Amino acid sequence: MKEATEVIQIRDLYLNFYTYEGVVKALDGVSLNVKKGEILGIVGETGCGKSVTSLSILKIVTPPGKIEGGRIEFNIKGKTYNILELNEQTMTRVRGRYISMVFQEPRAALNPVYTVGDQIGEVFYIHRKEEIIKAVIEQLKKEIETTKGFKRRRLNIYLSLYERMLKNPRSLTIRLVSKVPILRRFRNLMNKEIRKRTVELLEVLRVPDPERVVDMYPHELSGGMAQRCVIAMALVANPLLLIADEPTTNLDVTVQAQILVLIKELQKKLGSTILYITHDLGVVAELCDRVAVMYAGNVVEIADVMTLFKKPLHPYTQGLLESIPRPGRPFTSIPGVVPSLINPPPGCRFNERCKYAMDICWKKKPELIDAGKDHYVACHLYSSGGK
């Protein structure tokens, strides 16, 4: 058995949206894998199912969307779990800790009524409580040695409370004491520790003047800063997989470049795996190791970046690359429009717009086939021995 090199393996994922107009077959047998330590880009037009694929990985698809079938295998510590079979309680522990997500609109992704520090701190509190309590206990023990008298007695009480909290974070005593005014001051130590770590994290993300930023509300931040804070929230628990859903789409080009450099650096430093969703082929070329191209709810091609840009196989990928505007060349685009996903055409969903369409394209849905060197394509052109 091979050592799990894949962090996530999606197999034949089907997802429908039940709307008034009919059933939108948004994902139609999506299969892809994310390897450990890589940046996988997912590209495709609006509505091709990029975002909903990422939401499925976290299992936060909201009605009317519903996952109809397939498997999402998540490899962790040598074990494999099917995310779709995990219950909600387990998933809340997975989300943010092992898989976390950065959203498209940074300022909308922050709660307007809390400061940045509060919100990042909350994630610390949810996922790294134990670590923080341990740090506080260490600190308390050191402090107790150097103090005397009444203060020492108080610190001793705090120490016992924290030790109790470490043993059983939901213990009744702790919950009661945390509600009583004055007595709950013992939590200040923990809050201070969380704040310290939040500031450190913001420093890593090159937020200027982090001491001040932690006390700011989201509306006081610029788009780039807000996005850094959102990324900070996602990185709190040092997740195995970071999903970035078009994190730079709404930012200025210069800020976008900064964020991309930052993501790349962080990825190198932390060795985390990133699933980067975008419709910008330029970003993909710059950032990603491998690319999955999606079209109308299907993955049509997966390859590493160089191969995909040099030798695209699928007619859609070819069309997509040709439609990148370049100076001295007339605008080109793929003729036709994306088919309605309520009544998708039979067979391959690209058949109506494809210049190589054959009879079989209207009859049978193409499977992802191996075209060599980790290059997969879903097209009938290559199924009969590869032309």
Partner 1 sequence: MKIKVPERFEPTVKEIKFILKRVKDTPLSLAGITIVLFFVFIAVFAPILAPPAPGLNPYIIPRDESLGFRVEPSPPSSTHPFGTTMLQRDVYYGCIWGTRWAFEIALKVIIAIVFIGVILGLIAGYYGGVIDEILMRFTDIILAFPGLILAMCMTTVLTQAGWTTIDSVLLSIVLIGWPGYTRLIRGETLRIKNEDFIEAARAAGSSDLRIMFRHILPNAIYSVIIVASLDFGSIVLTTAALSFLGLGAPTGWADWGRMIYDGMSFVRGGLRWWWSWTYPGLFIVFFVLGWSLLGDALRDVLDPLYRRK
Q: What residues line the site for partner 1 (CB under 8 A)? A: 58, 60, 62-63, 92-97, 100-101, 103-105, 108-114, 122-123, 126-127, 215, 230, 233-234, 236
Strands across the sheet with 369-370, in order?
A: 99-102, 241-245, 273-278, 39-43, 290-295, 298-304, 376-377, 369-370
313: number of CA atoms within 13 Å, CB side?
28
Beta bridge partners of 34: 8
CB of 88 to partner 1, least distance (A): 8
CB of 359 to partner 1, least distance (A): 44
Residue 290, amino acid: R
Nearest to 63 by CA among 36, 24, 33: 24
Gyration radius of the chain's alpha carbons: 25
179 or 387, CB closer to partner 1?
A: 179
239 or 366, CB closer to partner 1?
A: 239
CB of 311 to partner 1, least distance (A): 36
211 or 367, CB closer to partner 1?
A: 211
CA separation for the pair 336, 324 (Å, rounded):
17
Nearest to 139 by CA among 179, 197, 97: 197
Q: Which H or E element spans position 336?
A: none
210 or 312, CB closer to partner 1?
A: 210
71 or 128, CB closer to partner 1?
A: 128
CB of 49 to partner 1, least distance (A): 17
112 or 372, CB closer to partner 1?
A: 112
CB of 368 to partner 1, least distance (A): 28
15 or 233, CB closer to partner 1?
A: 233
Is residue 287 a contact partner of residue 39, using CB atoms and an 8 Å limit?
yes
CB neighbour class for 73 (10 Å; exposed up to 12, middle 13-18, buried from 19) = middle
Which phi and psi (to 5°) does residue 325 adopt? -70, 135
CB of 189 to partner 1, least distance (A): 20
CA separation for the pair 39, 263 (Å, rounded):
10
Place of tokens 């001295």: 328
Q: Which two tokens stand for residue 43?
A: 């590209």
117 or 344, CB closer to partner 1?
A: 117
242 or 377, CB closer to partner 1?
A: 242
248 or 307, CB closer to partner 1?
A: 248
Sheet strands (E) in the chain:
6-19, 22-35, 39-43, 65-76, 79-82, 99-102, 241-245, 273-278, 290-295, 298-304, 369-370, 376-377
CB of 211 to partner 1, least distance (A): 10
CB of 93 to partner 1, least distance (A): 7
CA separation for the pair 33, 7 (Å, rounded):
8
DSSP codes of every residue in 270-301: H--EEEEEES-HHHHHHH-SEEEEEETTEEEE
Q: Which two tokens stand for residue 303?
A: 């390859």
CB of 124 to partner 1, least distance (A): 10
CB of 244 to partner 1, least distance (A): 11
